[in-house]
Amino acid sequence: MLLQDENLFLLLLVIQIIGVIVLLATGWRLRNLIRQYRRLLTGKGEIDLEEVLVHLGERTKRLEEGLARVEGELEKNREEARGYLQKWLLLRYKAFANTGGDQSFSLVILDRKGDGVVLSSIYGREESRIYAKAIKGGKSSYPLSEEEQQVLARALSDKTEKN
């Protein structure tokens, strides 16, 4: 029984020595890490890490404020752009059989909401006339000729619009 107690004592002593060695190595490594951390915070040049982080935080805040301002302006510009004339289409045609060439035309100019104008020029040998008809929501309160209806329908169905 005494031999077993001695073996157990030696085993515990070896484990304890290994534990102390591991504890010393960990303490030494921790001390080195703390030293490196302090060196980073105090800096060796004109600026230290803490100042760099504060500067980056302030710069990030300014950039976020600027980005919010730009996003607001972009949305305002998008809203304004809905009222700009964005679609136009020209259709030339021969209004009368006895005149040469496609001298007559209908021109539609619309914004994104379908508001705008149809301009038509009827060319004849003796005279030419120009008509303007308001368009609201893709419809006119005035009767439209076949050519005007055609050019308006084509302009409204134009698939090139970007949202």
* Whether pTM exceeds 0.75: no
Contacts of 23 (CB under 8 A, 6+ apart): none
Q: What is the pLDDT of residue 97?
A: 76
Structural domain boundaries enclosing 18: 2-79
Predicted confidence at residue 4, as pLDDT, reads 79
Distance of alpha carbon 49 from alpha carbon 52, whole angstroms: 5
Tell me, yes or no, whether 162 lies in a domain.
no
- Whether residue 99 is found in the same domain as residue 38: no
How many folded domains does the chain comprise?
Answer: 2
112: which residues sit within 8 A by CB, 6+ positions away?
81, 82, 83, 84, 86, 87, 161
**Same-domain pairing of 60 and 126:** no
Which residues have a Cβ under 8 Å from the Cβ of 74 and sit 6 or more positions away? none
Q: Are residues 53 and 95 in the same domain?
A: no
pLDDT at 19: 95
Which residue, 14, 44, 79, sits at the end of a domain? 79
Query: In angstroms, what CA-CA distances link 46 with 29, 34, 51?
Result: 28, 21, 10
Report residues of the chain scoring pLDDT below 70: 1-3, 43-47, 99-100, 158-163
Would you say residue 163 lies in a domain? no
Non-local (6+) Cβ contacts of 95 within 8 A are 103, 104, 122, 123, 124
Q: Can you list the alpha helix ranges (DSSP code H) found in 43-138?
A: 49-81
Alpha-carbon distance of 112 to 118, in angstroms, equals 15
Q: Indicate whether 7 and 71 sit together in one domain.
A: yes
Q: Under a CB-based contact definition with an 8 Å cutoff, are residues 109 and 148 in contact?
A: no
Give the pLDDT of residue 45: 61
Residue 35 confidence (pLDDT): 86
